[in-house]
Structure 1
Amino acid sequence: MTEHATASTATSTAATAASPAHAQAKYQLRFDWAHDGLATVASDADIVVWVDVLPPVGADQHATARDALPHIPESAAVVAGGLTTASAVAAWIIAEQVRLGRRAMVAIVAAGGTTASGGVRFAVEDQLAAGAIVDALAAVGIDYSSPEAAAACAAFTGLRGAVAHLLTASASGQEHVAAGRTPAEIAPAGRVDTVNDVTILRGPSDAE
């Protein structure tokens, strides 16, 4: 990539991050992808939910979340979310909203995968997990969702019965299989609401 192209890309990214429309700012619940999306939708968030169902091969479960933390406003609490913890994350967010005594602004950000050129690759497992969290939040009364969040939710609710299969059959799942993991080792990450504990990457007390 040329220096001019790099500069143009940086300018374009900055403009996108500054756009109120792309920031989904009027919605309580927003959804976007990777670090650029994080910069776009999380600038005024009280809570950021980082979703990475199948981290890169060889990385630990929260590697991408730790990489993302420096890019998340210090005022925001950060939790990890996935298919297994959708309802637990929703319950945690409701409790935090009660603690705040006002409407909590929530940004759900899917890590996605990485392309050969270093760009963001769509990861169906992250889309479905984000949708599962949006659905769980709607069930407890947080439902003022952006169209992006609503579309992720619709993907999950429409495909809920096939989530486990989609996880192992996905590009990310097959990448893990090619690296030596069995489908049986991957499958637990696709079991909805099987974990009650929420991984808090940065707690509210740390954010204040």
Structure 2
Amino acid sequence: MPGQQHPFDQSTYQVRLECGLEGLARLAPSDVVVVVDVLRFSTTVTDAASRGEAVALDAGAHAVSINGAPVAVAAAASDALVLLGCLRNAGAVAAAILAEQERRARRTSIAVVAAGERSADGAVRAAVEDQLGAGAVIDALGALGIDHTSPEAAMAGEGFHGLRRAVRHLLTASGSGRELIERGLRDEVLNAAEIDASIAVPVLRDGVFRAL
């Protein structure tokens, strides 16, 4: 029935957390969706935005990111404000959401979606780097007073808070990190592991990510 709450939609909470495209579909519609794909989509686009560059969410983006890009497209279809979050800009994303809430002059619902890793057969697994990135955004939101979190979001936020000093090690030791390091991309992994190194917040408008 219209308006009926579902046990897994987290609609009674302001800050919500799910994983992947399917997870986004489970959540109640949110005012803001933060897509977290730390290795490498969110981080790469955040770095581009910090240089004043725009990144189109086109076929090329989908070829590079089979995880984060489809989530961003689906989120945009719901008329939500779609942001990209990662470890490098978690604090800036939280500040941007607070500003959006102040602009709306009402409580703003937030869905944080950890993109996860999609295999060739379509299965999605939780990714350490995305859980940490999502947790970093949730932790930063809490520090600003936006702390009415679902249990799922609370676990991610507290997980990041407790593991903050180990983030660099966790990313380089994770499956995704090791895969990139074996391809000679260790510097990219280390760059992605830097916390609050950027104030750029990519926002999706008309199919293009630009700094907010």
The interval holding the TM-score normalised by the smaller chain is 0.7 to 0.9
Give, in angstroms, the shift of residue 63 of structure 1.
Answer: 6.2
Partner of 2:156: 152
Please state whether the residue corresponding to 1:22 is helix, strand or coil: coil
Partner of 1:201: 204
Aligned length: 183
Matching residue within 78, 81, 101 for 2:82: 78
Give, in angstroms, the shift of residue 116 of structure 1.
Answer: 4.6
Deviation by residue 1:161-181 (Cα, 9 ceiling, x = unmatched): 100111111000011122232
Deviation by residue 1:77-112 (Cα, 9 ceiling, x = unmatched): 000001111100000000000111100000000000
Please state whether the residue corresponding to 2:83 is helix, strand or coil: strand
Question: Is the 8 Å Cα contact of residues 15 and 147 (structure 2) preserved in structure 1?
Answer: yes
Partner of 1:14: none
Give, in angstroms, the shift of residue 55 of structure 1.
Answer: 3.2
1:42-81 equivalences in 2 (<5 Å):
43-55=28-40, 64-72=67-75, 73-81=77-85
CA RMSD in angstroms, aligned pairs only: 2.2
Question: Is the 8 Å Cα contact of residues 79 and 202 (structure 1) preserved in structure 2?
Answer: no
Structure 1 vs Structure 2: percent identity of aligned residues?
A: 45
Please state whether the residue corresponding to 1:23 is helix, strand or coil: coil
- The farther-off stretch of 67-76 and 127-136 is 67-76
Give, in angstroms, the shift of residue 61 of structure 1.
Answer: 7.2
**Cα distance in 1, alignment partners of residues 182 and 117 from structure 2:** 16
What is the letter of the counterpart of residue 161 of structure 1? R
Matching residue within 2, 23, 36 for 2:22: 36
**Cα distance in 2, alignment partners of residues 200 and 62 from structure 1:** 17
Aligned CA distance change for structure 1 residues 60 and 84 (closer, same or farther; 3 Å): farther
In the alignment, structure 1 residue 142 sits paired with structure 2 residue 128: no
**Cα distance in 2, alignment partners of residues 44 and 74 from structure 1:** 7
Partner of 2:51: none
**Cα distance in 1, alignment partners of residues 163 and 72 from structure 2:** 31
Q: Structure 1: which 5+ residue stretches go unaligned?
A: 1-17, 204-208
Partner of 1:173: 177
What is the letter of the counterpart of residue 45 of structure 1? S
The TM-score normalised by the length of structure 1 is 0.81
Give, in angstroms, the shift of residue 62 of structure 1.
Answer: 6.2
Partner of 1:186: 189
Aligned CA distance change for structure 1 residues 67 and 34 (closer, same or farther; 3 Å): same
**Cα distance in 2, alignment partners of residues 108 and 93 from structure 1:** 11
Question: Is the 8 Å Cα contact of residues 50 and 65 (structure 1) preserved in structure 2?
Answer: yes
Question: Is the 8 Å Cα contact of residues 67 and 116 (structure 2) preserved in structure 1?
Answer: no
What is the letter of the counterpart of residue 193 of structure 2? G
In the alignment, structure 1 residue 124 sits paired with structure 2 residue 110: no
Matching residue within 109, 114, 118 for 1:114: 118
Question: Is the 8 Å Cα contact of residues 66 and 118 (structure 2) preserved in structure 1?
Answer: no
The TM-score normalised by the length of structure 2 is 0.80
**Cα distance in 1, alignment partners of residues 70 and 178 from structure 2:** 24
Q: Which has the larger radius of gyration?
A: 1
Question: Is the 8 Å Cα contact of residues 55 and 63 (structure 1) preserved in structure 2?
Answer: no
1:80-95 equivalences in 2 (<5 Å):
80-95=84-99
Partner of 1:161: 165
Question: Is the 8 Å Cα contact of residues 21 and 70 (structure 2) preserved in structure 1?
Answer: no
**Cα distance in 2, alignment partners of residues 28 and 82 from structure 1:** 20
